[in-house]
Each structure stands twice: as structure tokens, then as C-alpha cells.
């Protein structure tokens, strides 16, 4: 019942998307709507083929400052797109469902079938993330369910998942901090203004390895192949599987 | 060359501001019969403004040897012509290289998922010709099979009974295409048995294409990219033959660039519209990078496999890649010294 209510509330809150909408990095993770204020120089161009962003006019649209932390002081201005507006249950999850005393906390980390959230965690009996070593409250704050948690049980905003993920993924976090891991757009100078992509914009923490694929990034539809050279009817000559 | 009283030595004199450009040469010597016929056709073929522009464009010098005023003239002329042609305000930028900047590129070959968004973003940005008659893409993503370098294949591919090796390489049997698939079209990428290797211009420090250009219309800019002055290109395609990386494309026909898809932010040496009969190539998005913006392919890569920056800035992403990651350059043995690096985590 609560979930139904949540969905209803959200449908009312979410402004109707006008114009062409395309996804940024991981499908379903974040979208951007093409505006036609200047048809010659739009904010984005989208792929007719896959619905992906193909070209960025305005790299900073919809972003907010990333904010500082003790371990992360970017050389230049760092902005991010807030994650919270993308999380449908976020506005109510800390009050309507998990109010701090109910449902009772369960610190047992043995995998168990969930009675809720099966849509988010499709196979809870086989949670790939951590391979059985972690469970819900290792990442989600135990009292404030609209927050994540760091190593000291301090709440961490869903907008800053890096503060949580960096707990375990140290080397990747270091690379991300220095711009070697993950995606950034904007100014190329090391002290320039950049939009950073945060962890969960590319990785789905509940389905990290895409089942059996053992890759951190979700599968995508590819853009279409280049046209064959004139006179060539197919590309059979280059297939060498089954050799 | 009839009625030409200029000594041959003057025509081939070493380039410099005072040396005769093609335009001066023709001004000074009187126009030859052939060019008279050609330009007469130009003038009568279209409206006056366009014809004047074409006339002047036809006789402009090699961009690199032009004075600043001549460059500005050429740019103004092109802006006018393009704006008319594409029904919008088109800007042609002439921003020069900045001191202390040398652009470099790195691509994480382990991360690439083969989605080809880079190739398509490049077309959106750089005004290439669209299909079906002539499709030009500067980036090609190659799909490579995993696991060719295996023990049981070590002895494959050597000359057998036939005495000569007919294809393949030393590690795989003849007849197998190991260069990668260009035209793969799976439902989803990445496929589990493949990895992907995007290729484009490597912006060599010692570019073979520049060495062979008979008219010196392609050259290396001080900040790194190898560029083409399309107006000076004679379309001989020597550079295409010289490039070990298959990075250059030729406009065999009139490029097809729909007005509504045309990107009006252009650079003279970059993404301004090309014409039939000229060569084009990746310029590291010179129209963006000279103004401090990442190239279009870097921005569009969904997995962040593409890194770009100033090789002379120790804090840049590219320098950090070179410091920390395992890096290789394609065909390093060709001594072309690419500024495009492949790396793995």
C-alpha cells in the first residue's frame, strides 16, 4: 500500500517530460531532455538508434557543486548531477516505511529472501555485490534509510555514493578522484570546471556484475555499424568465429 | 603554362611571407587560359556574392603561410559562404595553438564496450558526410577476439606445405582476419568473448602523412594535432597511403551534410564543411580543445574509457594515466610517436 502511495506521489511530483529524452551513461540511471531553445546548438543530441546521448552542448545542465570532503579536493570546480531525484522511493523511505523503529532492525547478514524491494534487488539470495560478505545495512544507514552510511555510521547522502563505495574500493576510488576512472565532461584543463559522474550513475550497486557477465558496466545496445564499402554486400569476410 | 615570364626558381622558392603565393603568382603573371575558363564558369554559375567568395577561395594561399590578415579574410569569406549555404550563423574559428600546450589522448582498452557512441559523436561534432552515398566516420571501433595469443596457437601460421605464408600472422592460421571486425552488430555490447579497440588518428609526433604531402597542406600544429587545410588539398591521397593507422578519409563525392545537422561552431583547420576531393581526419576536436573543452568522443564515452589532456601539465588526466597505468602505442615500431595511448588498469 505504501509503495502504491509512493508511486502516486511521485507521479504527481515528477514534471511531465517534454521533448526528446535520452539516457546519459547507464540506461535507466539518468536521463537528459533535449531542449530546443537553440535548434542549432542544443544542450544534447540524442541517438535515433539507441536513445543515448550522442553529443553534449551544455555539459553542466542540471548540476550542483560536488562539495568538498577531507580526502577529495578537486583542483578545479567539480559539479555533479544529484542522484536523489532519480530515486523514486527516496522522498518517503525514511519516514513512511522505515521510521527508525519499525520495521525492526535486522543485523543478520545471511542472505534471505526479501519481502519488499524485489524490483531493486532482483535476486537477494544471490547478491553478487561483495559475494556474500555484505548485506543491506553495510551500505544503507540503519536509522536513516534515506541515507547511506560510511565506516563510522555517519549518514552519507545518496548524491555522494563515492563516500560509501570508497570504503572498499580504494584503488578505484583513487583513480576516480584523479580522473582516471569514470566519466567527466566539460573543461579539459586539470583545474577546469568539470561535471563528474558519481559511482551509481554507471554502476548498479544491487546488480553490480550483470549476472554472469562479470563486468561492472551494464550491457548496451550498440550504435549501428558503419556502412559497408560500395560493392560489398555483407561483412562475412571478417567473421572468424567458429574457426 | 603559357605566357609565363616568371623564372621557375621563383615559383618554387622556400615559403615565407614574401614568397609568391598561388594567388600572387597568378595575379602577377596574368591568368592562364585554363583558369579563365574555370572561373568564368564560377562567376556565371551562381549569384554574385557566392561567386566572389568562391573566386577568392579558389585563389587563396596555403593557410599556414598566410599573414594574419589573409587568414582573417579567408575566415570571413568562409563564414559568409557557410552561413548562406547552411541557413544559420556559422562561425569559423582561427584560434592558434597556445604556448605550453601539447594535447595527448589515452584510451582504456580494458573498459571499452564497443558501443560506437564515440564514432557517432564525432560525426555530430565534426560535420562529416552522412550516408548512404558517402558516409565518413573518423573513428572506427574494431572488435577483437579474445585469446589469440595462446600456447596451442604458437606454431600456427608459419609457412607449411605451400612454402609461403598466405595470410594471418605468426600466431594464427593463414586466412583468419585478425585485424578485427569493423561491422559487428550484436544485440548488446560488450560481448563476453570480445574486446574492442577504437582507432582514429594517432596525432603522431613524426607523422608519415605529413612527410608525403606534396603540397604541404597537412601539417602538425604546435599543440599536437595534425591538421589539413582543405582548401589547399589537391586530393592526391598520398597521405592516406602513408598513414599506418588508416586514420584519413577522402571525400570521393560531394559531402552530404544536412543543414539541420550541421554544427555551426567550426574551426578553419577542423570541422568546417569539406568539399569533394579533399582528405579529412581527426583533429582532436580542435574547435573545442583550443577553447579548453574536451573532445566530443571523450565526453560521450559512457564508460569513461577516453581520457584527454595537456601532456605538459603534470596534473592532467593524461599525465596521470602515463604515470600510473600500463600504456602502449599502436604500431610503436613504426617510429611515428603517436600522442594517442592505449592503456589498461
Q: How many degrees, rounded to 5, is the angle at CA B299 between CA B297 and CA B304?
A: 95
Q: How many degrees, rounded to 5, is the angle at CA B199 between CA B193 and CA B201?
A: 175
Q: Report DSSP state, residue B303.
A: T
Q: How many degrees, rounded to 5, is the angle at CA B55 between CA B51 and CA B60?
A: 145
Shared-domain flag, residues B213 and B333: yes
Which of B115, B121, B132 has its CB closest to that of A222? B115
* Least confident among A9-13, B109-113, B293-297: A9-13
Shared-domain flag, residues B227 and B251: yes
Q: Is B173 near chain A, with CB under 8 Å?
A: yes
Between chains, do B300 and A54 touch, taking CB under 8 Å as contact? yes
Shared-domain flag, residues B129 and B278: yes
Look at residue B125 and give its three-state secondary structure.
helix
Q: Which residue has the cell 585469446?
A: B147
pLDDT at A217: 84
Look at residue B65 and give its three-state secondary structure.
helix
Summarize pLDDT for A69-128 with one digit per residue, the tens.
Answer: 656 778 889 999 999 998 888 888 888 888 777 788 777 888 888 888 888 887 888 888
Which residue, among A27, A73, A188, A228, would best test binding to B if mutated, counting the most B CBs under 10 Å from its CB? A188
pLDDT at A19: 72
Gap from A101 CA to chain B (nearest CA, Å): 40
Summarize pLDDT for B81-131 with one digit per residue, the tens.
Answer: 999 999 999 999 999 999 999 999 999 999 999 999 999 999 999 999 998
Q: Which residues of A fall within a CB distance of 8 Å from B324?
A: 175, 180
Q: Which residues of B fall within a CB distance of 8 Å from A34?
A: none
Q: What is the Cα–Cα distance from A185 to B301, expressed in whole angstroms?
A: 10
User: Which residues span the domain enclosing B36?
Assistant: 8-89
Between chains, do A39 and B260 touch, taking CB under 8 Å as contact? yes
Whether B270 has a pLDDT exceeding 60, the answer reads yes
Which of B111, B117, B183 has its CB closest to that of A225? B183
Q: Is A224 near chain B, with CB under 8 Å?
A: yes
Between chains, do A217 and B325 touch, taking CB under 8 Å as contact? no
Residue A172 lies in a domain: yes
Residue among A58, A145, A136, A53 nearest A100 (CA): A145
Q: Report DSSP state, residue B254.
A: -
Whether the CB-CB separation of A141 and A149 falls below 8 Å is answered with yes
Shared-domain flag, residues B267 and B166: no
CATH code of the domain covering residue B312: 3.30.70.20
C-alpha torsion sign, points B58, B59, B64, B66: negative
Whether the CB-CB separation of B226 and B201 falls below 8 Å is answered with yes
Residue B290 lies in a domain: yes
Which of B116, B293, B307 has its CB closest to that of A187? B293
Between chains, do B315 and A182 touch, taking CB under 8 Å as contact? no
Interacting residues of A7 by C-beta distance below 8 A, sequence separation 6+ = A88
Number of domains in chain B: 3
Q: Is B112 near chain A, with CB under 8 Å?
A: no
Gap from B96 CA to chain A (nearest CA, Å): 17
Residue A233 lies in a domain: no
Q: What stretch of H or E contains B10?
A: helix B8-11
Between chains, do B292 and A222 touch, taking CB under 8 Å as contact? no
Residue B176 lies in a domain: yes
Residue B3 lies in a domain: no
For chain A, percent of residues with pLDDT exceeding 70? 87
Look at residue B210 and give its three-state secondary structure.
helix
Residue A238 lies in a domain: no
Question: How many residue pairs bridge chain A and chain B with CB atoms within 8 Å of each other?
Answer: 163
What cell does A83 get?
A: 542522484
Q: Is A55 near chain B, with CB under 8 Å?
A: yes
Shared-domain flag, residues B177 and B290: no
Residue B117 lies in a domain: yes
Which of A52, A55, A225 has its CB closest to that of B184? A225
From the number of C-beta atoms within 10 Å of its C-beta (0-12, 13-18, 19+), residue A197 rates as buried
In three-state form (DSSP H/G/I as H, E/B as E, the rest C), the secondary structure along chain A is CHHHHHHHHHHHHCCCCCCCEEECCCCCCCEEECCCCCCCCCCEEECCCCCEEEEECCCCCCCEECCCECCECCCCCEEECCCHHHCCCHHHHHHHHCCCCCCCCCCCCCCCCCCCCCCCCCCHHHCCCCCCCCCHHHHECCCCCCCEECCCCCEECCCCCHHHHCCCCHHHHHHHHCCCCCCEEEECCCCCCEEECCHHHHCCCCCCCCHHHCCCCCCECCCCCCCCCCCCCCCHHHCCCCC
Average pLDDT along chain A: 84
Between chains, do B113 and A217 touch, taking CB under 8 Å as contact? yes
Q: Is A47 near chain B, with CB under 8 Å?
A: yes
Band the pLDDT of B145: cuts 50, 70, 90.
Answer: confident
Q: Name the A residues in 183-202 with CB < 8 Å from any B CB.
A: 183-192, 197, 202
Shared-domain flag, residues B273 and B302: yes
Q: Which residues of B fall within a CB distance of 8 Å from A78?
A: none
What cell does A232 get?
A: 560489398
Residue among A10, A112, A184, A52 nearest B293 (CA): A184
pLDDT at A72: 72
Q: Which residues of A fall within a CB distance of 8 Å from B173?
A: 243
Gap from B277 CA to chain A (nearest CA, Å): 17
User: Per DSSP, what are the bridge partners of residue A79?
Assistant: A65, A195
Residue among B63, B92, B103 nearest B222 (CA): B103
Q: Give the mean pLDDT of B277-288.
A: 98
Whether B176 has a pLDDT exceeding 80, the answer reads no
Between chains, do B135 and A59 touch, taking CB under 8 Å as contact? no
Residue A178 lies in a domain: yes
User: Which residues span the domain enclosing A154?
Assistant: 2-99+131-208
Q: Is B156 near chain A, with CB under 8 Å?
A: no
Shared-domain flag, residues B172 and B311: no
Q: Give the mean pLDDT of B279-293.
A: 98
Q: Which residues of B fall within a CB distance of 8 Å from A237?
A: 177
Q: Which residues of B fall within a CB distance of 8 Å from A217?
A: 111, 113, 302-303
Shared-domain flag, residues B314 and B179: no
Residue B142 lies in a domain: no
Shared-domain flag, residues B208 and B321: yes
Shared-domain flag, residues B212 and B287: yes
Number of domains in chain A: 1
pLDDT at B177: 40
Whether B15 has a pLDDT exceeding 50, the answer reads no
Amino acid at each position: 500500500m505504501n509503495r502504491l502511495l509512493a508511486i502516486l506521489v511521485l507521479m504527481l511530483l515528477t514534471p511531465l517530460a517534454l521533448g526528446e529524452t535520452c539516457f546519459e551513461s547507464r540506461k535507466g540511471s539518468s536521463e537528459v531532455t533535449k531542449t530546443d531553445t537553440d535548434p542549432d546548438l542544443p544542450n544534447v543530441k540524442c541517438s535515433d538508434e539507441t536513445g543515448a546521448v550522442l553529443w553534449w552542448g551544455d555539459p553542466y545542465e542540471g548540476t550542483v557543486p560536488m562539495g568538498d570532503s577531507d580526502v577529495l579536493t578537486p583542483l578545479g570546480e567539480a559539479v555533479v548531477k544529484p542522484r536523489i531525484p532519480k530515486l523514486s522511493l527516496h522522498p518517503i523511505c525514511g519516514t513512511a516505511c522505515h521510521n527508525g523503529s519499525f520495521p525492526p532492525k535486522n543485523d543478520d547478514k545471511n542472505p534471505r529472501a526479501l519481502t519488499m524491494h524485489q524490483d531493486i534487488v532482483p535476486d537477494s539470495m544471490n547478491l553478487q555485490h561483495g559475494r556474500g560478505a555484505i548485506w543491506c545495512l553495510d551500505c544503507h544507514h540503519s536509522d536513516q534509510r534515506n541515507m547511506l552510511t560510511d565506516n563510522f555510521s555517519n549518514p552519507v547522502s545518496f548524491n555522494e555514493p563515492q563516500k560509501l563505495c570508497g570504503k572498499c574500493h580504494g584503488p578505484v576510488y583513487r583513480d576516480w578522484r584523479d580522473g582516471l576512472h569514470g566519466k567527466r565532461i566539460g573543461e579539459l584543463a586539470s583545474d577546469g570546471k568539470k561535471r563528474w559522474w558519481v559511482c551509481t550513475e554507471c554502476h548498479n550497486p544491487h546488480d553490480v556484475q550483470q549476472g554472469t557477465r562479470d563486468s561492472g558496466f551494464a550491457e548496451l545496445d550498440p550504435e549501428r555499424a558503419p556502412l559497408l564499402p560500395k560493392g560489398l554486400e555483407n561483412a562475412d569476410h571478417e567473421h572468424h568465429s567458429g574457426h | 603554362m603559357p605566357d609565363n615570364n616568371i623564372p621557375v626558381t621563383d615559383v618554387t622558392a622556400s615559403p615565407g611571407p614574401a614568397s609568391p603565393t598561388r594567388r600572387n603568382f597568378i595575379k602577377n603573371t596574368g591568368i592562364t587560359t585554363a583558369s579563365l575558363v574555370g572561373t568564368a564558369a564560377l562567376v556565371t554559375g551562381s549569384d554574385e556574392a557566392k561567386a566572389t567568395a568562391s573566386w577568392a577561395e579558389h585563389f587563396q594561399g596555403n593557410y599556414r603561410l598566410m599573414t594574419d590578415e589573409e587568414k582573417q579574410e579567408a575566415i570571413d569569406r568562409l563564414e559568409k559562404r557557410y552561413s548562406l549555404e547552411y541557413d544559420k550563423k556559422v562561425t569559423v574559428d582561427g584560434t592558434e595553438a597556445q604556448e605550453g600546450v601539447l594535447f595527448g589522448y589515452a584510451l582504456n582498452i580494458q573498459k571499452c564496450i564497443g558501443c560506437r557512441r564515440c564514432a557517432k559523436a564525432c560525426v555530430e561534432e565534426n560535420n562529416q558526410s552522412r550516408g548512404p552515398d558517402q558516409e565518413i566516420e573518423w573513428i572506427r571501433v574494431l572488435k577483437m577476439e579474445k585469446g589469440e595469443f595462446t600456447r596451442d596457437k604458437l606454431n600456427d601460421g608459419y609457412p607449411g606445405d605451400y612454402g609461403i605464408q598466405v595470410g594471418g600472422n605468426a600466431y594464427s592460421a593463414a586466412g583468419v582476419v585478425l585485424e578485427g571486425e569493423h561491422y559487428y552488430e550484436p544485440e548488446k555490447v560488450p560481448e563476453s568473448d570480445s574486446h574492442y579497440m577504437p582507432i582514429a588518428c594517432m596525432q603522431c609526433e613524426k607523422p608519415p602523412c605529413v612527410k608525403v604531402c606534396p603540397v604541404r597542406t597537412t601539417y602538425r600544429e604546435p599543440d599536437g594535432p595534425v591538421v589539413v587545410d582543405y582548401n589547399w588539398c589537391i586530393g592526391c591521397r598520398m597521405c592516406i597511403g602513408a598513414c599506418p593507422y588508416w586514420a584519413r578519409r577522402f571525400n570521393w563525392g560531394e559531402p552530404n551534410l544536412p543543414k539541420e545537422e550541421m554544427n555551426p561552431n567550426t574551426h578553419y583547420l577542423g570541422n568546417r564543411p569539406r568539399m569533394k576531393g579533399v582528405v579529412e581526419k581527426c583533429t582532436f576536436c580542435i574547435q573545442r580543445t583550443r577553447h579548453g573543452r574536451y573532445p566530443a568522443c571523450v565526453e560521450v564515452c559512457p564508460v569513461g574509457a577516453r581520457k584527454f589532456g595537456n601532456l605538459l601539465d603534470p596534473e592532467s588526466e593524461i599525465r596521470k594515466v602515463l604515470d600510473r597505468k600500463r600504456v602502449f602505442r599502436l604500431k610503436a615500431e613504426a617510429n611515428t610517436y603517436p600522442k594517442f595511448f592505449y592503456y589498461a588498469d
